Structure 1
Amino acid sequence: MNIGIIGAGALGSNIARAFANAGIPAVISNSRGPESLAGLIKELGPTIKAGTTEEAAKADIVIVAVRWVDVKRVLGELPAWNGRIVVDGTNAVEWIAPDSPDAKDPTNPLAAYGIKAVDLGGRHSSSLVREIVRGARFVKAFNHVDASVLAESETAGGQRVLFYSGDDADAKTTVRSLLEKAGFFGVDLGALDIGGPLASLPFGPLGGASFIKI
Structure 2
Amino acid sequence: MSYSIIGFGNIGRALAKAFSRKGIEVSVATTRDPESFAADAAAIGPKVIARTLAEAVKADIIFLAVRFESHPDVAKALPTWQGKTVIDVTNAYGVPPEQLGGQPSSQAVAQAFSGARLVKGFNHLLAATLGQDPAVQGGRRVVFLASDDEDDAAEIGALAHNLGFAPIKLGGLSEGGLLIQARGKSWGHLIFKDLVKFDG
Q: Under a length normalisation based on structure 2, what TM-score does the superposition of the two structures give?
A: 0.90
Distance 1:199 1:41 in 2: 28
Distance 1:89 1:65 in 2: 5
Instruction: Structure 1: state its 5+ residue gaps.
Output: 94-116
Distance 2:143 2:166 in 1: 6
Choose the corresponding residue for 2:189, options 184, 187, 205: 205
Distance 1:127 1:42 in 2: 34
Deviation readout 1:157-201 (Å, 9 max, x if unpaired)? 421100001012221111011100000000000011111111113
Distance 1:165 1:159 in 2: 19
Structure with the greater alpha carbon radius of gyration: 1
Deviation readout 1:5-55 (Å, 9 max, x if unpaired)? 100001111100011001111100012121012222221222111101121
Residue equivalent to 1:191: 172
> How many percent identity over aligned positions?
39
Distance 1:123 1:7 in 2: 24
Choose the corresponding residue for 2:97, options 120, 131, 152: 120
RMSD of aligned residue pairs (Cα, Å): 1.3
Residue equivalent to 1:161: 142
1:131 aligns with 2:111: yes
1:92 aligns with 2:92: yes
SS for the counterpart of 2:86 is strand
Residues matched between the structures, number: 191
SS for the counterpart of 1:127 is helix
Distance 2:59 2:175 in 1: 27
Distance 2:81 2:10 in 1: 25
1:170 aligns with 2:151: yes
Distance 1:144 1:176 in 2: 15
Q: Under a length normalisation based on structure 1, what TM-score does the superposition of the two structures give?
A: 0.85
